[in-house]
């Protein structure tokens, strides 16, 4: 079975206000309003389903199953582009959305 690398592109960073509007939950400590680890437009390559250097390990744990699916030539029937998926981290306060693309 052929295996592929997967390109990860940061598409959108949502803020606490994007998620909750003007009344966010009360937080016990000061947090950045958006993810401080990644920037929109950042591109990473996952080789052998490994977390790329500089990528957020927590986000990678959340999107790893989609990366593995694309790596082993899977596709999603709801996507017109074969070998493409959109996935996000599970940070409930300020999620980040990723475009995943199989690299042939």
pLDDT at 95 over 90: yes
Q: pLDDT, tens digit, for every residue of 56-94?
A: 999 999 999 999 999 999 999 999 999 999 999 999 999
pLDDT grade, residue 49 (50/70/90)?
very high
pLDDT interval class at 47 (50, 70, 90) = very high
Residues in Cβ contact with 16 at an 8 Å cutoff, skipping those fewer than 6 apart: 24, 31, 33, 34, 93, 94
pTM for the predicted model, two decimal places: 0.93
The mean per-residue pLDDT over the stretch 47-61 comes to 97
Has residue 34 got a pLDDT over 80? yes
List phi, psi (to 5°) of 85: -145, 160
What mean pLDDT is reported for the chain? 94
Cβ count within 10 A of residue 31: 13
- Rounded-to-integer distance, Cα 75 and Cα 43, Å: 20
């Amino acid at each position: 079975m052929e295996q592929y690398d997967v390109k990860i592109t940061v598409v959108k960073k949502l803020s606490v206000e994007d998620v909750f509007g003007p009344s966010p939950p009360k937080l016990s400590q000061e947090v950045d309003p958006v993810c401080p680890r990644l920037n929109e437009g950042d591109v990473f390559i996952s080789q052998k389903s490994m977390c790329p250097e500089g990528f957020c390990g927590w986000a990678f744990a959340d999107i790893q199953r989609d990366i593995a699916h694309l790596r082993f030539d899977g596709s999603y029937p709801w996507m017109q582009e074969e070998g493409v998926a959109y996935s996000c981290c599970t940070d409930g306060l300020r999620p980040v959305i990723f475009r995943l693309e199989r690299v042939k």
